[in-house]
Amino acid sequence: MAEQTETAQQHAVAHLRFVRMAPRKLRRVADAIRGKSVREALTLLKFAGVFAAEPLEKLVRSAVANAGNNHDMNTDELYIARITVDGGPGGRFTKRLDPRAQGRAYFKRKRLSHVTVVVSEQPPAKSRRKRAGAAVQTARTARRTPGAAASGVKKSTARKRTAKAAAAAS
C-alpha cells in the first residue's frame, strides 16, 4: 500500500463555488489555460480582456498557494493538470423578472458556477485538445525572413523599378 502512495502523482486542489457568472463564459477562459504551466496561465489570465479571467486567476493563485503550503511542492514548476467548470444552482432563487409588452414578464436566469482547479508538478499526460472559440490565446506572430519580404513585392512595382533602372542606365 505504501508503494502506491509514493508513486501516486501529488497534486493540489482549489475550489471556487457559487461564482456569479455563467459556466459558458468561464469555460471559454478555462479551455485556454488547460494543460499549461501555471506561470504561462497566470500571464494569460492577467492580460486577458475577459471579465471571466479575474476569478480564475484568483483560483489558480489559491491552488499554487495550497501546493506550496500544504503539499511542499515547488511552486515555480507547476502545471494545470485539470480545470473543470460546472453549473451551479441557477433556477429557484436566481431568477429576475424582465418586463415585456402587454403586462407580461419573462424570467432571466442568473446562472452560478462551480470551478475546480488541480495543479501538479508533472505536465498532464494527455495533450491539450484544441477547441474553437477560445478567444483568450497567446498571440503568435509569424517571423518574416528577408527573402520573404522581397518575394512579397507586387509585380507592377517590380516592373516599374526595372523600367526606371533601364532608363537610368541608357
Cα separation values, 18 from 8, 51, 61, 81, 112, Å: 31, 16, 18, 22, 5
Contact 88, 116 (CB under 8 A): no
- How high is the pLDDT of residue 161? 73
Q: Is position 113 within any domain?
A: yes
Angle among Cα 60, 66, 67 to the nearest 5 degrees reads: 90
Exposure of 104 in the CB half-sphere (CA atoms within 13 A): 5
- How high is the pLDDT of residue 165? 78
Does residue 3 surpass a pLDDT of 50? no
For the chain, the domain total comes to 1
The parent domain of residue 53 ranges over 8-125
Contact 42, 61 (CB under 8 A): yes
Q: What count of other Cβ atoms lies within 10 Å of the Cβ of residue 116? A: 17
Q: Is position 140 within any domain?
A: no
Task: Work out the average pLDDT over 92-118.
Answer: 90
Q: Is position 168 within any domain?
A: no
Q: Is position 65 within any domain?
A: yes
Does residue 114 surpass a pLDDT of 80? yes
- We report the CATH number of the domain holding residue 55 as 3.90.470.10
- How high is the pLDDT of residue 1? 36
Q: Is position 110 within any domain?
A: yes
- How high is the pLDDT of residue 140? 56
Model pLDDT for residues 144-162, shown as the tens digit of each residue: 555 555 555 555 666 777 7
Cell matching residue 84: 473543470
In the three-class reduction of DSSP (H, G, I as helix; E, B as strand; rest coil), residue 47 is classed as helix
- How high is the pLDDT of residue 155? 57
Residue that wins the pLDDT comparison between 63 and 170: 63
Q: Is position 146 within any domain?
A: no
Model pLDDT for residues 11-70, shown as the tens digit of each residue: 999 999 999 999 999 999 999 999 999 999 999 999 998 999 999 999 999 999 999 999
Q: Which residue type occupies 117?
A: V
Model pLDDT for residues 67-96, shown as the tens digit of each residue: 999 999 998 999 999 999 999 987 677 788
